[in-house]
Amino acid sequence: MASKLLYPVVAVVGIVAASGAAWWYQNRAPSSETPAQGAAAGPTPPASAAAGAGRPVTVEVARVEISKLVDDVQAVGSLRSRQGVVLRPEVSGRVTRLNFRDGERVRRGQLLVQLDDQLPQAQVKQSEAELSIARANHKRNQELLAQNFISQRTVDESAANLDVALAKLALAQATAARLKIVAPFDGIAGIRAVNVGDYLKDGTDMVNVEDIDVVYVDYRLPERFQTQVSKGQKAVVEIDALPGRKFDALIQAVDPLIDANGRSIAVRATIDNRQQVLRPGMFARVTTVFGERERAKVIPEEAIVPQGGRQFVIKVVDGEKDSQASKRVEVKVGIRRPGRVEILDGLNEGDTVVTAGHQRLQKDGTVIKVIDTGRAPAVKP
């Protein structure tokens, strides 16, 4: 029984002894260095001092170049004819004549579809006859009044009858005219949906007419561009159905109303289409040009270091003893293009900036070593 009680005591003593030995060994290890070794090592320099005076930080760089930049924005849209209409009869009737062929050019006022107008034409002739009688009666009454054979009241009645006859003729002519479907403008007729002999109700689709000598491209831009886009600006249009071709366009109108749902603004541009290459309904990719910079200072996009809403670059400057060093410079950026950024202020042509290795350049004056990537030479050979 006594031996069983000794086992926990021995285990506790062993653990305490092992812990004490470990503590003694760790505190004894530094003192085991020889004086020569301690002198050789010296005090440990701070991290910042090591970065500034130790091995150079390896970076990649690029020069500030002068290049032409275009300030533009891309969008998608659809083509529309300058004028387009689907012709429909205003009254019911039977088709008696088709005066056009599918897809041919038509002129304004040209008769395209004639509906049966026998009854309206008969009414026109009847109204013309009644008008002739009313006009003759009124003329005779005026002569009799001059001779005091009739009263003024009789002349007034004949004048009223003449006006009624004129109105009836105008009504009959208007009814007959509504049975003639004419082209409202110069354009190209589509594919007809009716044939001679068809009985049409009012409002039935017959054929479309499109004016495509000039086509519109309608598209939308985000609302942030509403102060930049205006009438008369240029645009370039590419059509997926016509790969490799570009068409010049001119902005004709900008909608004053911004869409509250999509937060976008509608824009319409015109394209000269006298060669009849483009068709309404085509899908279009539109590049709206706001302006051009003939001599813009440009650097690679990866050289920009954003911080707190401001833009910085790491500029390569001369260091001590023919070395190269880093210097953080705030810049003002302009046009952004894929992979490139315009610098409006903060750098000059020929300056060299760091494009890779920024994270190791935490303070100005850090010595750097430039890797020649073939994209841009270093400031010094």
pLDDT of residue 108: 95
CA dist., res. 176 & res. 170, Å (int): 10
Phi-psi bin for 19: left (phi > 0), alpha (psi -120 to 50), beta?
A: alpha
Q: For 192, phi and psi rounded to 5 degrees?
A: -70, 150
Report domain extents, the chain.
53-69+295-371, 74-81+213-293, 89-116+182-205, 122-178
Q: Bridge-partner residues for 111, per DSSP?
A: 182
Tokens 């645009």, residue located? 235
Residue 237 has pLDDT above 80, yes or no: yes
Residue 257 has pLDDT above 60, yes or no: yes
pLDDT in tens, 293-330: 888 899 999 989 998 889 999 898 887 777 888 889 99
pLDDT of residue 15: 67
Instruction: Specify the higher pLDDT residue, 183 or 68.
Output: 183
- Pairing mode, if any, of strands 367-371 and 57-63? parallel
| Run of H or E including 177 | helix 152-177
10 band by pLDDT with thresholds 50, 70 and 90 = low
CA dist., res. 294 & res. 70, Å (int): 8
Residues 187 and 106 sit within 8 Å (Cβ to Cβ): yes
Architecture (CATH level 2) of domain 122-178: Orthogonal Bundle (1.10)
37 band by pLDDT with thresholds 50, 70 and 90 = very low
pLDDT of residue 34: 40
Architecture (CATH level 2) of domain 53-69+295-371: Beta Barrel (2.40)
pLDDT in tens, 126-159: 999 999 999 999 999 998 888 888 899 998 999 9
- CATH (one of 2.10.25.10, 3.40.50.360, 2.40.50.100, 3.30.70.2190) for 89-116+182-205: 2.40.50.100
20 band by pLDDT with thresholds 50, 70 and 90 = low
Tokens 């002999």, residue located? 197
Architecture (CATH level 2) of domain 74-81+213-293: Beta Barrel (2.40)
pLDDT of residue 362: 82
Q: For 81, phi and psi rounded to 5 degrees?
A: -70, 155
16 band by pLDDT with thresholds 50, 70 and 90 = low
| Nearest Cα residue to 345 out of 330, 355, 365 | 330
Instruction: Specify the higher pLDDT residue, 290 or 212.
Output: 212
Burial 337-364 (b: 16+ CB within 10 A, else e): eeebbbbeebbeeebbbbbebbeebeee
3-class DSSP state for residue 25? helix
